[in-house]
């Protein structure tokens, strides 16, 4: 009897370890701020993240293009990694060291490790996550309008490929939560977070948090 109990316990423990190992092998997370902070090139090999813009009125993947310039260490004299279009006034930034921005009668802090974006005069900024897996994902994030001194806020949407799954409008200084559970994806799927101006792009600096898990 003792031998039988020992054998059963061994099987149970082995099953538990196998189950834990399987979970550990399949559970993954992709954190925009963490991953962007580590980037030293515009499109790192193996990264699911890319930073794009859209200069058309239609949000479909065929219209999205990479930013024309990239800097790994500094942008406009500030300690950022940046993807940007200087002519359009649009950019995505990963903040390397906290600094204070002052402009249009107000000040705010760009915090180390944050990802921020600014849509252009004629373009939307886009964060793309290209799925490396087949399965279901959860998406959790937050969007904050940082610069409330002027302008009229921003509009945003979260798209699965070319389909809008969540969207919103932020007033100056406003924020929105992104939360989606059980989104089915394959390696052909992409999640797009799109940030757009409203009537103008004045004071449209926006911070982005985005975490994707499976």
State pLDDT tens for residues 80-121: 999 999 999 999 999 999 999 887 778 888 899 999 999 999
Residue 62: inside a domain: yes
CATH code of the domain containing 141? 2.60.120
Residue 18: inside a domain: no
Residue 107: inside a domain: yes
Judged against a pLDDT cut of 90, whether residue 133 lies above it is answered with yes
Number of domains in the chain: 1
Residue 8: inside a domain: no
Q: Considering the entire predicted model, what is its pTM? A: 0.85
Q: Do 143 and 175 touch, CB atoms closer than 8 A?
A: yes
CA distance 54 to 70: 17
Residue 178: inside a domain: yes
Convert the pLDDT of each residue in 149-173 to its tens digit.
788 899 999 999 999 999 999 998 8
Residue 9: inside a domain: no
Residue 4: inside a domain: no
| pLDDT value, residue 136 | 97
What is the percent of the chain with per-residue pLDDT over 70, rounded to a whole number?
Answer: 87
Instruction: Specify burial of residue 61 (Cβ count, 10 A radius: 0-12, 13-18, 19+).
Output: middle
- What does the DSSP assignment read for the chain? -HHHHHHHHHHHHHHHHHHHHHHHHH--EEEHHHHHHT--SSS-TT-SEEEEEE-SSS--GGGEEE-SEEESS-BTTBSEEEEEETTTTEEEEEESS-EEEEETTEEEEE-TT-EEEE--SS-EEEEEEE--SSEEEEEEEEEEE---SSS--EEEEEEETTEEEEEEEE-TT-EEEEEEEEEEE-TT-EEEEEEEESS--TT--EEEEEEEE-
Structural domain span for residue 115: 28-213
Residue 22: inside a domain: no
Convert the pLDDT of each residue in 171-203 to its tens digit.
988 999 999 999 999 999 999 999 999 999 888
């Amino acid at each position: 009897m003792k031998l039988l109990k020992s054998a059963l316990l061994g099987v149970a423990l082995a099953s538990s370890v196998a189950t834990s190992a399987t979970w550990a092998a399949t559970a993954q997370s992709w954190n925009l701020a963490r991953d962007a902070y580590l980037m030293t090139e515009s499109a790192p090999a193996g990264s699911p993240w890319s930073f794009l813009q859209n200069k058309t009125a239609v949000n479909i993947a065929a219209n999205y293009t990479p930013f024309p310039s990239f800097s790994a260490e500094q942008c406009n004299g500030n300690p950022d990694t940046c993807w940007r279009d200087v002519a359009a006034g649009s950019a995505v930034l990963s903040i390397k060291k906290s600094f204070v921005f002052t402009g249009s009668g107000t000040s705010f802090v760009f915090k180390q490790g944050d990802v921020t974006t600014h849509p252009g005069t004629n373009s939307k900024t886009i964060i793309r996550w290209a799925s490396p897996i087949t399965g279901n994902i959860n998406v959790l994030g937050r969007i904050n309008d940082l610069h409330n001194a002027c302008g009229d806020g921003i509009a945003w949407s979260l798209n699965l490929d070319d389909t809008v799954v969540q969207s919103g409008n932020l007033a100056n200084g406003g924020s929105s939560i992104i939360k989606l559970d059980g989104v089915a994806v394959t390696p052909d799927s992409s999640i797009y977070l799109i940030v757009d101006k409203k009537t103008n792009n004045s004071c449209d600096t926006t911070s982005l948090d985005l975490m994707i898990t499976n």
